[in-house]
Structure 1
Amino acid sequence: MDNGHPMRDSLPLENRKFEVNAVLFDLDGTLIDSAPIYYQIIDIVFERLGVPPASRETLQEAMDDGDFDWDFVLPSNMKNRKDKLIAEARVIIDDIAPPMFRKQIKLIPGAAEVCKKITTQGKLIGLVTSTPGDYISVKLGPLRKAGIEKMLQIIVTADDVVNKKPHAEP
């Protein structure tokens, strides 16, 4: 890989210059502030299912790998009904999450300016998210309003990959 620089491959990595042609952004926590909504959703689901409330720290542990680990939050006397509770939770989430996201989700301050600056420099931008395809449209609302959605050259959702984050595939 010469690229016109005879010693390029022998330089330490920190001394090399790389041309950036595109920037890929994560969605949740990078472009949109969705964490408060997720906590509200969990609180509502737990209340409706009769699951005792969990601390934010416990919920963070339960969500650590991108999936929700119910074993962190279910009391031992409810673990035998875990599959039923998960199925009921999904129904509740499908009912309450879209309107909550539409109403409450906000762009991270400065996100629009960063995206616009990158694209005005001739660079491409894209989105990689663990959000399922069914929910992506509702979560893109703030990006749509700020004019960011039309700048995106690609959107990769959880449905587009086999391996979820933190795997390198997405």
Structure 2
Amino acid sequence: MHPILNDIRLISFDLDGTLVDSVPDLAVAVDASLERLGLPAAGEARVRDWVGNGSLKLMERALTCARHGSPDEALLARAHEVFLECYGRDPGSRTRLYPGVREALDGLRGGGWVLTLVTNKPFAFIQPILAQFGLEAHFALCLGGDSLPQKKPDPAPLLHVAAHFGLPPSACLMVGDSRHDVAAGRAAGFRTLAVPYGYNHGEPVRDSRPDALVDSLAELV
């Protein structure tokens, strides 16, 4: 057992960039949305740097790049609606688990930790992605970016999770791949652990100074 788990009873995981590499599917949906709006495709490499703040921010970044300027509210709302439609048709066929994720989740669940999922991805897309990997039963609670008025890096989703299970934040761990996960965990009073392989806007997540860093989640068990 990794030392970061000492006295921890609940673990909250981020999804995109932590458990799964979802960028290939997100990029297809972003480019299909841009094409519908008569704009040039972004490509997977750009999308990889834009993920992490929810689907609305993703499309804002895509539009800003495609138009060389910030979109107005009406265009952004339309683009987001188109994106949700495109992504909803196929949210997972190109998405893959990162190495070590299944071993970690199986081991932690078997070891008695309460596992939860706190992502900025819209809630509707969580279950289909987890189900395709047979992981939906591993999580006692899942929150999406639209489950509460606030999303990461705001600590509210993590505080909600801790309160839901009647646990003090000091007995909880946030596991993610970005500065937003570390910031949310720190603000909520959670211990924080990061993985370096995900999406952090091109910055090393180590620079956010999580309490611990592992190359693979399998190191937890």
Q: How far 1:126 sits from its partner (Å)?
A: 1.1
Aligned position for 1:108: 98
Of 6, 16, 24, the residue aligned with 1:28 is: 16
TM-score, normalized by length of structure 2? 0.57
Aligned mates of 1:74, 1:102 — CA distance in 2:
25
TM-score, normalized by length of structure 1? 0.71
Q: How far 1:162 sits from its partner (Å)?
A: 2.2
Aligned mates of 1:97, 1:54 — CA distance in 2:
15
> Please, which runs of 5 or more residues in structure 1 have no aligned partner?
1-15
Q: How far 1:150 sits from its partner (Å)?
A: 1.0
Residue identity in the other structure for 1:126: T
Which stretch of the first structure deviates more once superposed, 29-38 or 45-54?
45-54
**What does residue range 88-127 of structure 1 map to in structure 2 within 5 Å?**
88-127=78-117
Given that residues 114 and 139 in structure 2 are in contact (C-alpha distance below 8 angstroms), is that contact kept between their aligned partners in structure 1?
A: yes
**What does residue range 6-25 of structure 1 map to in structure 2 within 5 Å?**
18-25=6-13
Identity of aligned residues (%): 25
> Please, which runs of 5 or more residues in structure 2 have no aligned partner?
158-221
**What does residue range 55-134 of structure 1 map to in structure 2 within 5 Å?**
59=47, 63=51, 65-66=53-54, 67-68=57-58, 69-70=60-61, 72-75=64-67, 82-134=72-124
Aligned position for 1:10: none
Q: CA RMSD in A?
A: 3.0
Instruction: Flag the structure with larger Rg.
Output: 1
Q: How far 1:62 sits from its partner (Å)?
A: 5.1
Residue identity in the other structure for 2:28: Q
Residue identity in the other structure for 1:136: I
| 1:136 matched to 2:98 | no
How many pairs are equivalent?
151
Aligned position for 1:161: 148
Q: How far 1:104 sits from its partner (Å)?
A: 2.6
